[in-house]
Amino acid sequence: MTTEPDILCTDLVRIFTAKGVEVQALQGLTLRVDPGDLVAVVGASGSGKSTLLSILSGLDTPTAGSARVAGTDLLAMTGRERVDYQRHTVGFVWQQTARNLLPYLTAVENIYAAMIVARTRSRDARAAELLDLLGIADIADRRPGQLSGGQQQRVAIAVAIANSPRVLLADEPTGELDEATSADVLGAIEHVNRELGVTTLIVTHDPSVSRHVRRTVQIRDGRTSTEVLRRVSVDESGREQHHAEEFAVLDRVGRLQLPQDFMASLSLRDRVRLSLEDDHIGVYPDAPPVRPSDPEEDER
């Protein structure tokens, strides 16, 4: 039996029209994230990462395609369902602290505020659990302005998961932090994912995020292009071995993006030759390679 994914985007298209010019921010993006997964979506500026997150968080709707999160069809939500979805099904951590936390409330009051709005019960027990999980009990009574950037993001994570969402979405959660603090905040997200099993998607332009997640999905030109999967195995002498394998993403109709360095090294462009072999598909430059002429062949 296959479980239903917590995030399933199929052929997602988002076109913006600005001053009569159309921009295709997403061009048929396909993405599947299983329950409990921790996935990073990386890509260059303008590749469509924020557009994807706006759709998944219910702030924007796609032009075409389908998107389901934890069983909710994001294209068919009523206004009321959208509010419920944002309060109970997904939690968000944004790059800017001002968007995550209310500046006039303390850390623990911010956590309570999220629970009060969603009418969550057993608030005292939940708040204590979150302070402990995120290691922020000692700063619970400070306001955001009295916290470091890393502490603010830890509080933001606690607020985002206060109502036990199925999915946690983070948009550049380390965008304003230095390297060491970024690693600390990503470690906190990893810890929450492991302890609570909340399905987590982190969108970032920072490739170093891949050290903290099992799966890194690359977006190029509004489509998922490649994926790196990491796993750890233990060898005979008990040593941990880290493995990373890169895959191209194949969509429903068979489209894939070849990695740019592969294309450059074989000068692949416009058109390629394909051949079906027993266990793989060969991709060759359009023009056959020029071989030195065979004298015997020439005589015939």
Ligand X SMILES: Nc1ncnc2c1ncn2[C@@H]1O[C@H](COP(=O)(O)OP(=O)(O)OP(=O)(O)O)[C@@H](O)[C@H]1O
Least distance CB 93 / ligand X (angstroms):
15
Binding string to ligand X for residues 198 to 217, with x set by CB under 6 A, is what?
-------x------------
- Please say whether the dihedral angle defined by the alpha carbons of residues 131, 137, 139 and 140, taken in this order, is positive or negative: positive
Least distance CB 15 / ligand X (angstroms):
9
By CB under 6 A, tell whether 25 contacts ligand X: yes
Residues 6+ apart with CB under 8 A from 124: none
Quick check: 166 and 199 in contact, CB under 8 A? yes
By CB under 6 A, tell whether 173 contacts ligand X: no
Residues 6+ apart with CB under 8 A from 225: 218, 219, 248, 249, 256, 257, 259
Please choose, out of 16-24, 64-72, 136-144, 268-276, the segment that lies near ligand X by the rule CB under 6 A. Answer: 16-24
Q: Considering only CA atoms, which of 226, 213, 137 is closest in space to residue 174? A: 213
Question: How many Å is the Cα radius of gyration of the chain?
Answer: 23
**Cβ closer to ligand X: 94 or 112?**
94
By CB under 6 A, tell whether 175 contacts ligand X: no
Quick check: 153 and 202 in contact, CB under 8 A? no
Q: How far apart are CA 93 and CA 201, in angstroms?
A: 10
Least distance CB 237 / ligand X (angstroms):
43
Return the percent helix, strand and coil in the chain, to nearest 5. 35, 30, 35
By CB under 6 A, tell whether 223 contacts ligand X: no
Least distance CB 10 / ligand X (angstroms):
18
Please choose, out of 41-49, 87-95, 136-144, 229-237, the segment that lies near ligand X by the rule CB under 6 A. Answer: 41-49
Q: What is the DSSP string of 210-238?
A: GGG-SEEEEEETTEEEEEEEEEEEE-TTS
Query: How many Cβ atoms from other residues are within 10 Å of residue 60's Cβ?
Result: 16
Least distance CB 44 / ligand X (angstroms):
7
By CB under 6 A, tell whether 18 contacts ligand X: yes
Count of residues near ligand X by CB under 6 A: 13
Which of 42, 49, 144, 188 lies at the binding interface for ligand X (CB under 6 A)? 49
**Which DSSP letter does residue 269 get?**
B
**Cβ closer to ligand X: 37 or 171?**
171
**Cβ closer to ligand X: 69 or 203?**
203
Amino acid sitting at position 200 = T
3 state SS of 122: coil
**Cβ closer to ligand X: 47 or 163?**
47
Which of 10, 27, 50, 120 lies at the binding interface for ligand X (CB under 6 A)? 50
Least distance CB 43 / ligand X (angstroms):
5
Q: Which residues bind ligand X (CB under 6 A)?
A: 16, 18, 23, 25, 43, 45-51, 205
